[in-house]
Structure 1
Amino acid sequence: MAQGSKKAVLYAIFVNAIITVLKGLAALATHSAAMMNEAVHSLMDTLNQLFLLIGLNRGSRPADGEYAFGHGQKKYLWNLWSAIGLFSIGCGLGLAHAWHAYQNLTHLPRPDVIQIFGFGIHPIWISGLVLAIALVLEGYVLLVAGREFLSRMRAEGVRNPFRYLADADDPTLIAVLLEDSIAVTGVILAATGIGMTQLTGDPRWDISFSVLIALMLGVTAIFLGLVNMRYLTSIRDQDAERAFHDIVKDRREIERYHDLRSVIVDDRHTVVVAAIELREEVLTRNMRSRIQSHLAQLLERVPEHRRTENVVDYAETRAIIQATLEATELVIDFLEADLKQRCPQVSHLTIEIDGIAAPSKLDNPQLLDSEARGQ
């Protein structure tokens, strides 16, 4: 899961670094507010994806003496800093530049021809070429992230991409997908603003669309912040809890459960805790043979001349305890294996045996006698 996210992040860093330079140079040459905000946008994308990469590397570290469940939550923390910090800064810088451009609307010189290597080129062609390159490169990165997103969505049996976008357990991939989506949208907005300014001669079109680009960064910051905050606030794993309920419902050894709780540590670790009550009539089935087997194994380890009454009493007590523990461990092992098979993200299952359910067969001697013969 992390490898697919890391691939998308690395592609995005490389592409956005190139595009940032191209947009910045074009903005300086053409004095376009929309192009400058697009350069800021791409710069924030590049820095943000560097933060995502740091989060992926830090979050992939295994458990150690200080972090019992690994460092996975660091990924969400770096993503949160990235979303709230960098995108908010990008939004603020974009709005500030748009306001500055509006204030200097009549004083800002706009070149009619730009000299490059002795050739005179109209600014619209420079802007168009840079935006075309940006659209192709960012569209390719969006395609890489989109394929990874869709493959995971189909693997989890989800058909609605918008629902999966809100509920997906890997906010790093969501961040890259959203950034690439708004990057492509930003290019279209910048091209529209620059084109309208060229057609009408009114630079306010350019400034207006630069404001839209800045606001888009702000909305993205809020959404990504909310997505990552979900995983830093002890959110429950509803799928794991439903699976536990279904498993317990089909197990005859378990009468009931209560205090079922779960915590999502990260996208690879969920902790589930519950208390269960066992059924006496099922738990005691074949108990006599288990006790006899453990007793025989214990007595084999003691020479016959040392098998005093106290030794035999101790062996019988220990055999009863071992047989009981064995029966309960089998129930817990099955629960753990079945739950992890249905929900691979469950890394730890803690079960408290809350006792044996009230005996139902003591009130029915015939059933009790039948169960006893079955042992």
Structure 2
Amino acid sequence: MAAAPRTAILATLLGDLAMAVAKLVAAVLTGSAALLAEAIHSAGSAGNQVLLLLGVRLGRLSAGDSTGLALARERYFWGGVVVFAVFGIGGAFAVHAGCVVWLADAPAGGHAVVAYGVLGIAAAFAVFSAHGSLRQYLLSARGRTFREAFFEAKDPTVVLTLVEDAAGVSGVLVALAGVAAAQAFGRAAFDGAAALLVGLLLALRAALVALKSKRMLLGHAAASADQEKVRRILALQPGIEKVHDVTAVHLAPHDVLLGVALDFRPDVGADEVRRIVYSIEYRIREALPHMRRVYIEAGSVVRFWERAAERKAGNG
């Protein structure tokens, strides 16, 4: 990733951390459970930005490191950790805090101006960010439904960002409504109900991100169009008798592992086999740069050496 996107990630990270601290301070001053839940929400968003930075680093390492196969998917493991630690546990804590305040139904706390100020600024940031995410989503969706874009996209960054920003806007609006209702009616139960809803929103967000991380960790098959392009490249290679299988799996959004099982013609010698293999790898990587790892299993070569070993054993 270039320096500009990395700078953008760092800027977003600092913004999320600042909002998390501001909401936490406001929650302490006002005693608002909704603001506390929103502080957890912002902390979770900051955690996601850290994951993006980790993905940048792992993407560079996996390109040439001997452990690249593991590194390519490590980001999804850490994604699951953040989802569980921040959104799962944080959501449960927010739900618990909301229930406690709701059931206690104490008088509403003070310092309402602080709460309105922090939530107003947070709402402005959230709406601005969501507007940009929606534009990017509409450009990238290309007629696909939201379900297709979320579950089938190999690079889920755009749709996940839209989900997160939509959750951010919803959370801030719910918290703002809860604080306003608590001040209007003088009862903290409304604030507790808002915290409960924000906690449920965090839990829903955790479930969506965890589901996507699981699918990416287990591996997505590469696009059928890409696999068909590989088959066309193989069909143009002289010396290949039969292609048994073409398997392509995403290790990361832009990192595909390709496995090809084929047979060479019986009259093809070892030097020619080596030349054909090099040609196949070169042409595939030239046409499909994201197929960084290409493995070719030549069954005819294996059988040739097996027969040679059998003849040698028989002569011995």
Shorter-chain-normalised TM-score: which range? Answer: 0.7 to 0.9
CA distance in 2, matches of 1:226, 1:325: 47
Q: Does the Cα contact within 8 Å between 1:252 and 1:279 map onto a contact in 2?
A: no
The aligned counterpart of 1:128 is: 116
The aligned amino acid for 2:50 is L
Is 2:29 aligned against 1:29?
Answer: yes
CA distance in 2, matches of 1:217, 1:8: 24
Q: Secondary structure at 2:257's aligned position in 1?
A: strand
Equivalent in 137, 154, 158 of residue 125 of structure 2: 137
Among the aligned pairs, what percent are the same residue?
Answer: 23
The aligned counterpart of 1:257 is: 243
The aligned counterpart of 1:353 is: 298
The aligned amino acid for 1:129 is G
CA distance in 1, matches of 2:79, 2:4: 16
Is 2:171 aligned against 1:226?
Answer: no
Residue 218 of structure 1 and its aligned partner are, at CA, apart by 0.8
Residue 236 of structure 1 and its aligned partner are, at CA, apart by 3.0
CA distance in 2, matches of 1:26, 1:349: 54
Residue 244 of structure 1 and its aligned partner are, at CA, apart by 2.2
Any stretches of 5+ residues in structure 2 without a counterpart? 302-316
The aligned counterpart of 2:53 is: 53
The aligned amino acid for 1:40 is I
Q: Does the Cα contact within 8 Å between 2:26 and 2:115 map onto a contact in 1?
A: yes
CA distance in 2, matches of 1:39, 1:173: 24
- Give the TM-score normalised by structure 1: 0.67
The aligned counterpart of 2:76 is: 76
Equivalent in 230, 238, 245 of residue 244 of structure 1: 230
CA distance in 1, matches of 2:209, 2:57: 19
Q: Secondary structure at 1:346's aligned position in 2?
A: coil
- In structure 2, relative to structure 1, the CA distance for the partners of 1:68 and 1:13 (3 Å cut) is closer
Deviations 1:207-240 (A, max 9, x none): 2222111111111112111212223224432444
- In structure 2, relative to structure 1, the CA distance for the partners of 1:5 and 1:225 (3 Å cut) is farther
The aligned amino acid for 1:159 is G
Q: Mean alpha-carbon deviation: is it higher for 256-265 or for 65-74?
A: 65-74
Q: Mean alpha-carbon deviation: is it higher for 3-12 or for 132-141?
A: 3-12
The aligned amino acid for 1:36 is L
Any stretches of 5+ residues in structure 1 without a counterpart? 115-122, 285-319, 357-375
The aligned amino acid for 1:84 is F
Cα RMSD between the aligned structures? 3.4
Deviations 1:152-180 (A, max 9, x none): x37xxx43262223333345665544333
CA distance in 2, matches of 1:140, 1:181: 11
Residue 250 of structure 1 and its aligned partner are, at CA, apart by 6.1
The aligned amino acid for 2:143 is R
Residue 102 of structure 1 and its aligned partner are, at CA, apart by 1.9
CA distance in 2, matches of 1:53, 1:65: 18
- In structure 2, relative to structure 1, the CA distance for the partners of 1:141 and 1:214 (3 Å cut) is same
Deviations 1:5-60 (A, max 9, x none): 64453232111122122222332333332222112211232234334433433443
Is 2:284 aligned against 1:339?
Answer: yes
Equivalent in 187, 207, 210 of residue 172 of structure 2: 187
CA distance in 2, matches of 1:236, 1:3: 30
CA distance in 2, matches of 1:62, 1:348: 11
Equivalent in 256, 271, 276 of residue 325 of structure 1: 271
Equivalent in 154, 158, 164 of residue 169 of structure 1: 154
Q: Secondary structure at 1:60's aligned position in 2?
A: helix
Q: Does the Cα contact within 8 Å between 1:84 and 1:222 map onto a contact in 2?
A: no
CA distance in 2, matches of 1:193, 1:169: 38
The aligned counterpart of 1:159 is: 143
The aligned counterpart of 1:209 is: 194
The aligned counterpart of 2:104 is: 104
The aligned amino acid for 1:140 is F
Q: Does the Cα contact within 8 Å between 2:108 and 2:182 map onto a contact in 1?
A: no
CA distance in 2, matches of 1:3, 1:164: 27
Q: Secondary structure at 1:345's aligned position in 2?
A: coil
Q: Does the Cα contact within 8 Å between 2:27 and 2:36 map onto a contact in 1?
A: yes
The aligned amino acid for 1:350 is Y
The aligned amino acid for 1:258 is H
Q: Does the Cα contact within 8 Å between 2:154 and 2:250 map onto a contact in 1?
A: no
Question: Between Structure 1 and Structure 2, how many residues are aligned?
Answer: 299
Q: Does the Cα contact within 8 Å between 1:8 and 1:176 map onto a contact in 2?
A: no
Q: Does the Cα contact within 8 Å between 2:108 and 2:183 map onto a contact in 1?
A: no
CA distance in 1, matches of 2:132, 2:275: 46
CA distance in 1, matches of 2:244, 2:75: 33
The aligned amino acid for 2:255 is H
Higher Cα Rg, which structure: 1
Hey, which of these two has a bigger chunk of helix by percent? 2
